[in-house]
Amino acid sequence: MKKRLTRRAQEMIARSLPHFPELNGKTITVGYTRKHLGSASIIYRGGKIVRLIIRLKVRKLTYQTIGHELTHLVQALIRGNRPQIDSIDLPEIPYGEKPCDIWTLARHELFCDDPPTYIKMPRIMRERWLDYAEPVRRLCIAAIQQRITRRLYIQWLETEVGKLAKAAPRRQTFPAQLSLPFADRTTSTE
C-alpha cells in the first residue's frame, strides 16, 4: 500500500534541499521506512546512476536524518556520473557513515536538530544535545579542514568531542541568536 508523505515531511525536505546544490536538477524518490531512521539507495545501470532514493521514518523525523541521507546521495554522486557534475565545485565527501555525519552537521545548522548517529560521543551529549550542537558542529567544520593534512581526522574529532563533554555545557557562551531548528515532534503521522 502506498502512503503519501506527510505534509510536515514534505516541508522539511523542501527546506533541506536548498542546502544541497549538488542535487540541483536531480530527481530524488522519497519513500518510507519503519526499520531505520532513514536510508539512501543509489540505483546504477551500466555504471551510471539512474535513480536516487531516500527512505525516511516520518515519525519524529529530524533534519539531521534528512541531511544524513541527502549527504549519502552526494557521496554517491561524487563517485558516479562524475563527468556530468564536474562543472559544480563539489567538496569531496569520503564514503562512510562517520564522514556522512560530519559533513551533514557541517553543512548547515539546520541539520543539527538531533545528535548524529555514528560519531562517537558521550551519552550526556546525546541527552543534552542542544547544549552541544553548535560546538560539535564547529568541531566538524574543523575536522573537515584537518582532513587535508591529518588522516586520522575522525579520531581527532571524537577526541575533541569527548573533551567538550568534560567541560561544562557552554550554551550560554555561544551567540544568543543561535536558532536551531527545533523539530515539532508531535504532529507526524505515518
Residues that bind Zn ion (CB under 5 A): 97
Residue in the shown chain whose Cβ atom is closest to Zn ion: 97
Give 29 or 84: the residue with its C-beta nearer to Zn ion. 29
Give 41 or 81: the residue with its C-beta nearer to Zn ion. 41
Residue 39 three-state SS = strand
Specify the DSSP element, H or E, that contains 67: helix 63-79
Q: How far is the CB of 150 from Zn ion (least distance, A)?
A: 23
Give 54 or 164: the residue with its C-beta nearer to Zn ion. 54
Cell numbers for 140, please give them.
566538524
Q: How far is the CB of 42 from Zn ion (least distance, A)?
A: 12
State the burial class of residue 74 (Cβ atoms within 10 Å of its Cβ: 0-12, 13-18, 19+).
buried
Q: How far is the CB of 181 from Zn ion (least distance, A)?
A: 20
Q: How far is the CB of 36 from Zn ion (least distance, A)?
A: 9
The answer for residues whose C-beta is within 8 angstroms of residue 85's C-beta and 6 or more apart is 22, 77, 78
Give 40 or 183: the residue with its C-beta nearer to Zn ion. 40
